Amino acid sequence: MVDLRVLSGDEVTDEPLGWPVRSHTLLGGGLVSDFVRDEVETPAGEVMRRDYLLHPGAVGIIALDDAERVVVVRQLRHPVGFRLVEPPAGLIDAGETSWVDAARRELAEEVELAASDWRILVDYMTSPGCLQETLRVYLARGLTPTGRPDGFVVEHEEADMEVCLVALDDLVDAIYAGRIQNPTMVVGALAAYAALRTGRVESLRPADAPWPARAVKEQRDARIHALGGETRPR
């Protein structure tokens, strides 16, 4: 066995860290994300270039009914050429600071449901090597029908979206069989399954618990935006 340091339980945590950014350049602007390049100074004094996408962040919801069925949507994802089985999810709006309120809004917009019991399943970074997106996945229970928020218009892919129920066990089987590929669906369903089967649901973080990654993002965005090179502040 390789002789490696064993982390204690308290040491198993992601650590905020940033090396000095010497320049920040907009390579291309998009509807949601800008493509940027940073020149970053390493501790050895070298300069490395890193290209990545800026992103406002998002929330996802594993909405579970009393029969342990998950509310899913079947939606076209043009970049990959698949109609994916996904949980209700969506972007965090500019200026939105209550993540659970964002999740409540998305649940109502996409599947016309409300929930009385909200808990945090997991926080994750979608693809941290090339994408700034942070995503929080909630477990929502106590489901009841509700209307879509005033002013919300169903359009584009969502106009052709199918809303379905899937037994949680069947969803987990489909994930292990390689039939489910949306990352929020995979992460959220497996986290919900583990929480339910190991008795962790009652000890899940409350819906309004802090989200440290968002604070780090705001600080980084402010420093990088000060260097210029973007079409709009983040």
> For residue 41, which amino acid is it?
E
The C-alpha atoms of residue 88 and residue 150 are separated, in whole angstroms, by 18
What is the residue whose two structure tokens read 């780090």? 216
> Could you give the residue numbers annotated as active site?
158
Give the integer Cα–Cα distance in Å for 123 and 138: 9
What angle, 0 to 180 degrees and rounded to 10, lies between the N-to-C axes of helices 183-197 and 168-176? 120
For residue 52, give the nearest of 74, 70, 30, 27 by alpha carbon: 27
- Coil/strand/helix, residue 96: coil
User: Helices H, strands E: what count in the chain?
Assistant: 4, 11
Tokens of 215: 């604070």
Tokens read off for 196: 């339910």
With a CB cutoff of 8 Å and minimum separation 6, the contacts of 205 are 119, 120
In sequence order, the 6+-apart residues with CB closer than 8 A to the CB of 121 are 62, 137, 138, 139, 188, 191, 192, 195, 204
Distance from C-alpha of 185 to C-alpha of 26, rounded to nearest angstrom: 32
